[in-house]
A = this chain, B = another copy of it.
Amino acid sequence: MTGRNVAPPYWAVIFTNEQTADVAGYEAMAARMVELAATQPGFLGIESARSGLGITVSYWRDLASIAAWRQHVEHLEAQRLGRERWYQRFTLRVARVEQEWSFARNDAGQGPA
């Protein structure tokens, strides 16, 4: 993931979603949220992929960090717009990461980024 490497336990927010047809403003807001999340206390990293279904996983030091980020004023506005315009449906899961391991090919340099 982007951000700081830490050993478990830490926390993950798994956000899975399907978009509506109304994507105006979405990409800019999503980029802003990634930028803003990275400045929050306890932020460890974020990863996203989309192919129809979108999956974003953000990583956090503890539940208090997640709770604070959920209540950030700019994030609240993004959440409002998401419900009003951008998301057909979504599911949020908060999970405690207990184990982690990585693989990287030797020809890719040393270890994952």
| A54 CB-CB contact with B under 8 Å | yes
Interface size on A, residues (CB 8 A): 39
Number of copies of chain A assembled together: 2
Question: Quick check: B94 and A99 within 8 Å, CB to CB?
Answer: yes
Residue interface bits A94-113, CB-to-B below 8 A is 1, else 0: 11111111111100100011
Question: Quick check: A105 and B89 within 8 Å, CB to CB?
Answer: yes
Residue interface bits A55-77, CB-to-B below 8 A is 1, else 0: 10100000000000000000000
- 24 A–B contact pairs at CB < 8 A? A8-B93, A12-B14, A12-B93, A14-B57, A16-B57, A47-B53, A47-B55, A49-B50, A49-B51, A49-B55, A50-B51, A55-B55, A55-B57, A83-B103, A87-B103, A88-B108, A89-B102, A89-B105, A89-B112, A91-B101, A91-B112, A92-B100, A93-B97, A95-B95
